[in-house]
């Protein structure tokens, strides 16, 4: 029997793909856990960071800022253990789209703010220059990770795999 290039590539994917999925899942989990942990100690500052975008009334921004670290921590834990991975990836993707849109909006309106993604954020001091493009590119990279998990949510070493069995060849055709 002759092995074709497609068969060889598919065989490599079967060997590497699941472990790439683990790396993606754990990487995105680390992002959310770090982001949430960096804000959870000062929820008022997180609210001020959301308010700095000037997109909603202060009370709404403060409430969103206070809730956001807990959402990020919950997503991180779900992804870390691999439970409801597709749902966590979908919520992650939605949040990342909102974050990219918020940063782009701040940039287009000439605001000088720190995004607050991994800390307190808020308005920058006079003379400081915002770094919007790297922040947007970083979040688009995280969005790509979430997209991968939407496409391939079942990975080894996860609760999802334990509850549904090991991924099969048929799972590759999801």
Quick one: CA torsion of 75, 81, 84, 85, rounded to 10 degrees? 80
Give domain status of residue 115, yes or no: yes
Beta strand spans in the chain (E): 113-114, 122-123
Give domain status of residue 4, yes or no: no
User: pLDDT-based confidence at 8, cuts 50/70/90?
Assistant: low
pLDDT tens sequence across 114-137: 999 998 788 898 888 999 999 999
Give domain status of residue 16, yes or no: yes
Give domain status of residue 89, yes or no: yes
Give domain status of residue 3, yes or no: no
pLDDT tens sequence across 24-61: 999 999 999 999 999 999 999 999 999 999 999 999 99
Give domain status of residue 167, yes or no: no
Would the pLDDT of 174 be above 50? no
How many domains would you assign to the chain? 1
Q: Which two tokens stand for residue 41?
A: 């100690």
Provide the whole-model pTM: 0.87
Range of the domain at 141: 10-162
């Amino acid at each position: 029997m002759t092995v074709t290039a497609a068969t060889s590539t598919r065989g490599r994917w079967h060997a590497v793909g699941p472990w790439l999925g683990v790396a993606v899942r754990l990487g995105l989990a680390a992002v959310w856990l770090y982001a949430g942990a960096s804000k959870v100690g000062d929820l008022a500052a997180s609210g001020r960071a959301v308010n700095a975008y000037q997109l909603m009334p202060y009370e709404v921004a403060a409430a969103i800022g206070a809730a956001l670290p807990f959402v990020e921590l919950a997503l991180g834990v779900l992804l870390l253990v691999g439970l409801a991975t597709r749902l966590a990836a979908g919520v992650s993707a939605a949040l990342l789209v909102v974050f990219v849109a918020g940063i782009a909006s701040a940039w287009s309106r000439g605001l000088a703010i720190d995004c607050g993604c991994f800390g307190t954020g808020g308005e920058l001091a006079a003379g400081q220059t915002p770094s919007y493009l790297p922040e947007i590119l970083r979040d688009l990279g995280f969005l790509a990770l979430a997209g991968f998990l939407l496409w391939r949510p079942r990975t080894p070493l996860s609760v999802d795999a334990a509850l549904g069995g090991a991924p099969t060849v048929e799972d590759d055709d999801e």
